[in-house]
Structure 1
């Protein structure tokens, strides 16, 4: 259960930090610019911390689901490790190319594709307890396609934000379902 609580806290922190950045950093256009740009400039440390926390939440979730769905747990662990590492490699400012920025991009691409894959791999294990598991996984896959399409039409930022919110909500829901399924030990008085 503690691992599921870590996941829930991580998802909530991610959602709150993303919302706050829309207010605190209005110069980062949410329609066209990636959320990674919040790590540049004022409050950049908060973006790095939130990214690391998301990674830790995913690692905790991977550990929590490892006995129910090993393939999904492995892919979740890859996602989590990529996000934790990404926290230490900020994106490059526009027009600049550095090794640090390139590492950020590679880790971001790994994370981008692995969480939806983990959701798809977890459907069978989650479906008996969470009837929304199949549509939630499908939604993340559609969000990936939407981000790729939006990038071609200048709306990458908004599509990425929808995708990231969906990822955090998926992790939050899976962890909440896991907690709800725990036996109530207070009833066992024998």
Structure 2
């Protein structure tokens, strides 16, 4: 089956590849994603979204097994802001939910050693320009952007952001979860821990 140009227009990326928007501020230290253990499929992954010109951005987190998606507003893309956002996300979860995290090589993750020490977790890095290695998060970011375009992220209040995540993303039934929502899947997983 071949796709005609008209059919591609209904897809999220319209059949076009996106060019990297930032060419500086990356670093080449840390553990690569190839060293990550296989059981990580049920762990956390993280990425900072919105590389637009506005200073404000989001730190986005997705729990890979239940697909629960969280976003924390950040004033800028610095390591300190990322560390604070990670702390906020970790405080919203029960202890030891964060065991690993996978990030891109943006300058905002220069704090990875501090994250590992503070939160007792392992930070892994994807290969540059290989967003498919963090597919769960990239797909969730795309879903978020379909409801809220990138340029408007910094203008949303935390309450509007929470409403968007809670109603439109985390309470949407998903085929990969047996038509349960991410919220229902998380509650079921946490009930096994009790």
Query: Which fold has the larger relative contact order, with Cα–Cα distance below 8 Å and residues 6 or more apart in sequence?
Result: 1
TM-score > 0.5 by shorter chain? no
Greater helix content: 1
Greater strand content: 2
In the superposition, the TM-score normalised over structure 2's length comes to: 0.27
